[in-house]
A and B are shown apart, each in its own frame.
Chain A
């Protein structure tokens, strides 16, 4: 569908959702009435941005209780199950769901996402079951609908269970892998510890479908080279904002379905709307009725929305996800994240694991701990090139300290990409 028609459809759906929110959701209805906004007032995207208030996780937490969780966001009854968000930024939030809504969003969002990422009927797919998480539920339902058999190792997505992941992969040789980037890294590490080459470990796997952390082109390249899979798909989105998608085989950003969500980007400080291509926090409105109403939910990630048409021919806009706001820092008036740092490093060295140290207290310089790739990393001698690359990209220098990977700061074996302390450096 041409972009213009998609936008017209989007506006019609948006107006319907505002009407529904006003009448069916006590949370949104009260906020709209407090602003003096009636559903018929919203006739354009500009009206919507100007009139409908943004809300955050904390706004919702303040009003949500066990007594009203089923209906505060206007979900159709009866509620069949609840999902939790990942809780990365604090206590998880609860989504009250019914099967009608789940079936609808699985059909309109997740089936398209997984199809685009090359999942096909009859495949066997590795998947750590996560009944508590919205994406876990949706993935299970996609598998059911598409006719995919899951290979589910015992346990959950924690490092303690990586051994079971490896065993399941070796035993069942699935063709598809759904997981998080750290899981692949940890499985490669565990495989090497057992004397198994990554390509042998992932033999049979054609595609990696990964979510949870931004994937840079260099990181995707590294995964392709090491595992020998045909392609790596980067999935992203939010359970709180109920939006999501994946990139396609052209890897030019995550395709977000314009007939499922209306996405905006706002300035992280002023919350003023930003244009296509500008970097800010996403704001999601879910256009599918029946579930929890999401009406201008402010997310925690830094993104940009790109309007250029993807080579795949899809007309929906694409989203680039950079990292969480909490992992960002400013240099020369620009909001940077580890994603940007990784791109600069990759331009010289290829992908490396690293941590940004105390960005707020390191003056104009960016200070990094970078893990050597093997015992004899040639890039260790490329300090000048790295410095010039940082100067060219960010207008500031960089101070690199090369370390063993074990010297990087980890939390529950997950790499801390931006390390901040109050008394000094980790180094």
Chain B
């Protein structure tokens, strides 16, 4: 049997098209990284996770083996959470708001640019209209600053450095949590440079995380 996998086009930033060839090993590593940050954000067994982002986003891709050809088991399989996704289109804010109210997820993962459209659709109740929400993860690729103070509990930023398959959770205090075992890490001009150990074909990439803020999650 041939090896399955996915040739994934990353979200173009600055007009640059970049593709990653991900086999089971790379996808497993990505899922482990994602499980780490979700766990650090409080996502656990029995939780529902609502995703408002593209299925090609790295933070969504590795959630379940049903999302990525070649992925043996996703982050939610490890954590015991269930997941519902909607595409990351602004036009889908009304539908996402509908399912946010209906499903009352314990965790919400939303692209940074879609947070305000979603909150607007939720009206005066906002994200607080769901009393079960425990974890809000705001996904961004071009911003690793502390998350905005929104939601009933502390929000987190899920920072993704796509070319390195690197995911980190930035907490409200600005500390970054990631799985140190999965990456070779160096400090370069004051910023973290990372290389995934589970993807030998990928070189180091500089992140937007300053070295002083990078902490290994204790979770």
Q: Which residues of A come within 8 Å of B, CB atoms?
A: 65-66, 69, 78-82, 84, 87, 91-92, 94, 99, 102, 121-122, 124, 127, 129-132, 136-137, 140-141, 143-156, 158, 164, 167-168, 171-172
Contact = CB atoms under 8 A, between A and B. Distances in A.
A150 B21 CA distance: 10
A291 B32 CA distance: 28
Q: Is the interface of B mostly helix, strand, loop or mixed?
A: loop
Given A69-B103, A80-B77, A140 B67 contact: yes
A82 B103 CA distance: 10
Given A143-B69, A156-B89, A94 B4 contact: no
Contacts of B63: 131
Given A150-B69, A156-B87, A80 B11 contact: no
28 contacts: A65-B102, A78-B46, A79-B82, A81-B83, A94-B103, A99-B77, A129-B54, A130-B55, A131-B55, A131-B64, A137-B66, A140-B67, A141-B66, A143-B69, A143-B70, A144-B69, A146-B1, A147-B4, A148-B2, A149-B6, A150-B4, A150-B70, A154-B56, A155-B56, A156-B87, A164-B9, A167-B9, A172-B19
B134 interface: no
B184 to A, nearest CB: 27
Contacts of A92: 95
B82 A131 contact: no
A66 B54 contact: no
A94 B1 CA distance: 34
A109 B198 CA distance: 34
Contacts of B68: 129, 140
Nearest to B24: A144
B103 A66 contact: yes
A155 B7 CA distance: 14
Contacts of A152: 6-9, 56
Q: Interface extent on B, as a size class? A: 35 or more
Given A132-B85, A141-B65, A149-B3, 19 more contacts: A69-B102, A91-B95, A94-B102, A102-B66, A121-B2, A124-B7, A127-B69, A129-B55, A129-B56, A129-B67, A132-B55, A143-B70, A145-B4, A146-B4, A149-B6, A150-B4, A152-B56, A153-B56, A156-B87
A99 B66 CA distance: 9
Greatest chain B CB density within 10 A among A81, A131, A164 is at A131
A379 to B, nearest CB: 37
Nearest to B130: A66
A144 B68 CA distance: 8
B85 A154 contact: no
B82 A78 contact: yes
Contacts of A151: 6-7
Interface in B69-91: 69-71, 76-77, 80, 82-89
B9 A122 contact: no
B82 A155 contact: no
Interface in B38-78: 46, 51, 54-56, 60-61, 63-71, 76-77
